[in-house]
Protein backbone atom coordinates (compact mmCIF):
# COMPACT_ATOMS: atom_id res chain seq x y z
CA UNK A 1 0.00 0.00 0.00
CA UNK A 2 1.26 3.44 -0.84
CA UNK A 3 0.74 6.53 1.24
CA UNK A 4 -1.94 7.78 -1.12
CA UNK A 5 -4.04 4.68 -0.53
CA UNK A 6 -4.09 5.51 3.16
CA UNK A 7 -4.94 9.15 2.59
CA UNK A 8 -8.02 8.23 0.58
CA UNK A 9 -10.83 8.30 3.15
CA UNK A 10 -13.42 6.59 1.01
CA UNK A 11 -13.33 2.95 2.06
CA UNK A 12 -16.69 1.87 0.71
CA UNK A 13 -15.07 -0.70 -1.52
CA UNK A 14 -14.06 -3.11 1.19
CA UNK A 15 -16.76 -2.66 3.77
CA UNK A 16 -20.41 -3.61 3.70
CA UNK A 17 -22.69 -1.08 5.35
CA UNK A 18 -25.87 -2.61 6.72
CA UNK A 19 -28.67 -0.27 7.62
CA UNK A 20 -30.71 -2.93 9.41
CA UNK A 21 -33.93 -4.59 8.44
CA UNK A 22 -37.11 -2.51 8.34
CA UNK A 23 -39.34 -3.23 11.28
CA UNK A 24 -42.65 -4.87 10.41
CA UNK A 25 -45.59 -2.66 11.34
CA UNK A 26 -48.67 -4.79 10.93
CA UNK A 27 -49.40 -8.49 10.84
CA UNK A 28 -49.54 -8.56 7.03
CA UNK A 29 -45.94 -7.35 6.91
CA UNK A 30 -44.99 -9.91 9.56
CA UNK A 31 -46.56 -12.59 7.39
CA UNK A 32 -44.74 -11.32 4.31
CA UNK A 33 -41.47 -11.37 6.21
CA UNK A 34 -42.03 -14.95 7.35
CA UNK A 35 -42.79 -16.10 3.81
CA UNK A 36 -39.82 -14.21 2.43
CA UNK A 37 -37.42 -15.63 5.00
CA UNK A 38 -38.80 -19.13 4.53
CA UNK A 39 -38.41 -19.17 0.78
CA UNK A 40 -35.21 -17.14 0.59
CA UNK A 41 -33.02 -20.19 1.05
CA UNK A 42 -30.64 -18.48 3.47
CA UNK A 43 -30.54 -21.65 5.54
CA UNK A 44 -28.97 -23.43 2.60
CA UNK A 45 -26.36 -20.69 2.34
CA UNK A 46 -25.41 -21.55 5.92
CA UNK A 47 -25.24 -25.23 5.09
CA UNK A 48 -23.08 -24.51 2.07
CA UNK A 49 -20.66 -22.34 4.05
CA UNK A 50 -19.82 -25.06 6.56
CA UNK A 51 -19.71 -27.76 3.87
CA UNK A 52 -17.35 -25.60 1.82
CA UNK A 53 -15.02 -25.30 4.81
CA UNK A 54 -15.14 -29.06 5.29
CA UNK A 55 -14.30 -29.74 1.64
CA UNK A 56 -11.60 -27.11 1.56
CA UNK A 57 -10.11 -28.74 4.67
CA UNK A 58 -8.13 -25.64 5.62
CA UNK A 59 -7.51 -26.70 9.21
CA UNK A 60 -6.35 -23.96 11.56
CA UNK A 61 -5.55 -26.17 14.51
CA UNK A 62 -2.06 -25.79 15.94
CA UNK A 63 -1.08 -29.08 17.60
CA UNK A 64 0.52 -27.09 20.39
CA UNK A 65 3.24 -29.08 22.07
CA UNK A 66 4.36 -30.41 18.68
CA UNK A 67 3.86 -27.19 16.71
CA UNK A 68 4.44 -23.73 18.09
CA UNK A 69 3.14 -20.37 17.12
CA UNK A 70 5.57 -17.99 15.43
CA UNK A 71 5.56 -14.74 17.40
CA UNK A 72 5.96 -11.37 15.70
CA UNK A 73 8.90 -9.10 16.49
CA UNK A 74 6.59 -6.82 18.50
CA UNK A 75 5.82 -9.57 20.95
CA UNK A 76 7.25 -8.76 24.35
CA UNK A 77 8.19 -11.93 26.16
CA UNK A 78 11.16 -12.93 28.35
CA UNK A 79 14.16 -10.73 27.66
CA UNK A 80 17.31 -11.76 25.89
CA UNK A 81 20.82 -10.35 26.11
CA UNK A 82 22.54 -10.41 22.75
CA UNK A 83 26.18 -10.75 21.71
CA UNK A 84 28.11 -8.68 19.21
CA UNK A 85 28.14 -10.37 15.85
CA UNK A 86 31.80 -9.43 15.21
CA UNK A 87 33.47 -10.64 18.38
CA UNK A 88 30.92 -12.67 20.26
CA UNK A 89 31.39 -10.61 23.40
CA UNK A 90 28.44 -9.18 25.25
CA UNK A 91 26.80 -6.12 23.80
CA UNK A 92 25.87 -4.68 27.15
CA UNK A 93 28.12 -1.80 28.10
CA UNK A 94 26.72 -1.48 31.60
CA UNK A 95 25.37 2.03 31.12
CA UNK A 96 22.50 1.35 33.53
CA UNK A 97 19.81 3.07 31.45
CA UNK A 98 17.50 0.05 31.57
CA UNK A 99 17.86 -0.15 35.31
CA UNK A 100 17.05 3.53 35.57
CA UNK A 101 14.02 3.56 33.28
CA UNK A 102 12.42 0.37 34.56
CA UNK A 103 9.09 1.48 36.00
CA UNK A 104 8.56 -1.77 37.84
CA UNK A 105 12.01 -1.50 39.35
CA UNK A 106 12.82 -5.06 38.52
CA UNK A 107 16.17 -4.79 36.70
CA UNK A 108 19.29 -5.01 38.77
CA UNK A 109 22.83 -4.89 37.42
CA UNK A 110 26.28 -4.92 38.97
CA UNK A 111 29.27 -3.64 37.09
CA UNK A 112 32.98 -3.52 37.71
CA UNK A 113 36.15 -2.43 35.93
CA UNK A 114 37.93 -5.48 34.54
CA UNK A 115 41.68 -6.02 34.12
CA UNK A 116 41.69 -4.27 30.71
CA UNK A 117 40.10 -1.33 32.55
CA UNK A 118 36.87 -1.73 30.63
CA UNK A 119 33.47 -1.71 32.20
CA UNK A 120 32.08 -5.20 32.59
CA UNK A 121 28.65 -6.36 33.71
CA UNK A 122 29.22 -8.95 36.38
CA UNK A 123 25.59 -9.52 37.38
CA UNK A 124 22.39 -8.76 35.48
CA UNK A 125 19.02 -9.98 36.68
CA UNK A 126 15.35 -9.23 36.03
CA UNK A 127 12.74 -10.05 38.63
CA UNK A 128 9.98 -11.50 36.49
CA UNK A 129 7.64 -11.46 39.44
CA UNK A 130 7.64 -7.68 39.06
CA UNK A 131 8.32 -7.14 35.36
CA UNK A 132 5.29 -5.81 33.53
CA UNK A 133 6.84 -6.38 30.07
CA UNK A 134 6.42 -2.74 29.11
CA UNK A 135 9.46 -2.86 26.85
CA UNK A 136 11.05 0.40 28.06
CA UNK A 137 14.36 -1.33 28.74
CA UNK A 138 14.57 -2.62 25.17
CA UNK A 139 13.53 0.76 23.83
CA UNK A 140 16.10 2.71 25.79
CA UNK A 141 19.05 0.40 25.25
CA UNK A 142 21.65 2.22 23.07
CA UNK A 143 23.41 -0.97 22.02
CA UNK A 144 20.37 -3.20 21.24
CA UNK A 145 21.80 -5.42 23.94
CA UNK A 146 18.67 -6.14 25.96
CA UNK A 147 15.76 -7.09 23.73
CA UNK A 148 12.48 -8.88 24.13
CA UNK A 149 12.48 -12.49 23.05
CA UNK A 150 9.60 -14.53 21.68
CA UNK A 151 9.80 -17.34 24.21
CA UNK A 152 6.31 -17.60 25.71
CA UNK A 153 6.56 -20.89 27.58
CA UNK A 154 7.48 -19.59 31.01
CA UNK A 155 6.58 -22.50 33.25
CA UNK A 156 9.23 -23.47 35.75
CA UNK A 157 9.71 -24.32 39.39
CA UNK A 158 11.19 -20.91 40.11
CA UNK A 159 10.51 -17.63 38.40
CA UNK A 160 14.18 -16.82 38.93
CA UNK A 161 14.95 -19.53 36.36
CA UNK A 162 14.45 -17.05 33.53
CA UNK A 163 15.79 -13.88 35.02
CA UNK A 164 19.53 -14.35 35.56
CA UNK A 165 22.22 -13.22 33.18
CA UNK A 166 23.21 -16.73 32.10
CA UNK A 167 19.56 -17.50 31.25
CA UNK A 168 19.09 -14.45 29.07
CA UNK A 169 22.49 -14.17 27.40
CA UNK A 170 22.80 -15.96 24.06
CA UNK A 171 24.74 -19.15 24.82
CA UNK A 172 28.15 -19.13 23.15
CA UNK A 173 27.37 -22.39 21.31
CA UNK A 174 24.22 -20.92 19.80
CA UNK A 175 26.18 -17.86 18.82
CA UNK A 176 28.92 -19.89 17.14
CA UNK A 177 26.29 -21.84 15.24
CA UNK A 178 25.17 -18.41 13.93
CA UNK A 179 21.71 -18.86 15.38
CA UNK A 180 21.51 -15.55 17.19
CA UNK A 181 18.89 -13.48 15.42
CA UNK A 182 19.14 -9.73 15.21
CA UNK A 183 16.37 -7.83 16.94
CA UNK A 184 14.51 -5.92 14.26
CA UNK A 185 13.97 -3.01 16.62
CA UNK A 186 11.45 -2.05 19.24
CA UNK A 187 7.97 -1.89 17.67
CA UNK A 188 9.13 -3.39 14.39
CA UNK A 189 6.46 -4.74 12.10
CA UNK A 190 6.13 -8.39 11.35
CA UNK A 191 7.22 -9.70 7.96
CA UNK A 192 3.70 -9.89 6.52
CA UNK A 193 2.40 -6.67 8.03
CA UNK A 194 1.51 -5.17 4.66
CA UNK A 195 -0.76 -8.05 3.77
CA UNK A 196 -2.60 -7.93 7.06
CA UNK A 197 -3.19 -4.20 7.33
CA UNK A 198 -6.59 -2.83 6.36
CA UNK A 199 -7.95 0.68 6.42
CA UNK A 200 -10.16 1.66 9.30
CA UNK A 201 -13.48 3.09 8.13
CA UNK A 202 -13.72 6.70 9.29
CA UNK A 203 -16.93 8.60 9.71
CA UNK A 204 -15.53 11.92 8.40
Partner 1 sequence: MFETAVIVETVVKAVIVVAVVAAMAGFATFIERKVLAFMQRRLGPMHVGPYGLLQLAADGIKLFTKEDIIPQNAIKPIFMIAPVVAATSAFVAMAAVPYFPEFTLFGYTIHPIISDINVALLYVMGVASVGIYGPLLAGMSSANKWSLLGAARAVVQMLSFEVVSGLSILAPIMLIGSLSLIDINDYQSGGITQWLIWKQPLAFVLFAVAGFMETNRAPFDTVEFEAEVVAGYATEYSGMRWGLFFIGEYANMITISVLVSIIFMGGYAPLGFIPGAVMMLLKVSFWIFLFLWVRAAWPHVRPDQLMWVCWKVMMPLAVVNILITGFVLI
Binding site for partner 1 (CB under 8 A): 34, 43, 46-47, 49-51, 53-54, 57-61, 63
If the CB atoms of residues 54 and 155 are measured against partner 1, the closer one turns out to be 54
Q: How far is the CB of 126 from partner 1 (least distance, A)?
A: 36
If the CB atoms of residues 11 and 49 are measured against partner 1, the closer one turns out to be 49
Integer Cα distance of 7 and 66 in angstroms:
44
If the CB atoms of residues 63 and 192 are measured against partner 1, the closer one turns out to be 63
Q: How far is the CB of 195 from partner 1 (least distance, A)?
A: 20
Q: How far is CA 66 from CA 39, 61, 62, 63, 69, in A?
A: 48, 12, 8, 6, 10
Q: How far is CA 38 from CA 23, 34, 57, 195, in A?
A: 17, 6, 30, 40
Q: How far is the CB of 60 from partner 1 (least distance, A)?
A: 5
If the CB atoms of residues 17 and 57 are measured against partner 1, the closer one turns out to be 57
Q: How far is the CB of 27 from partner 1 (least distance, A)?
A: 11
Amino acid sequence: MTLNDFKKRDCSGDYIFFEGEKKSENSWEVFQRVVKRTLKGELFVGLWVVLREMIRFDIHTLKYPAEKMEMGPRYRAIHRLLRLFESGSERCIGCGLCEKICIANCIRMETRIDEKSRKEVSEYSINFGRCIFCGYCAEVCPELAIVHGVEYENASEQRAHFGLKEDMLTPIDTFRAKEQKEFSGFGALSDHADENVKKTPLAY
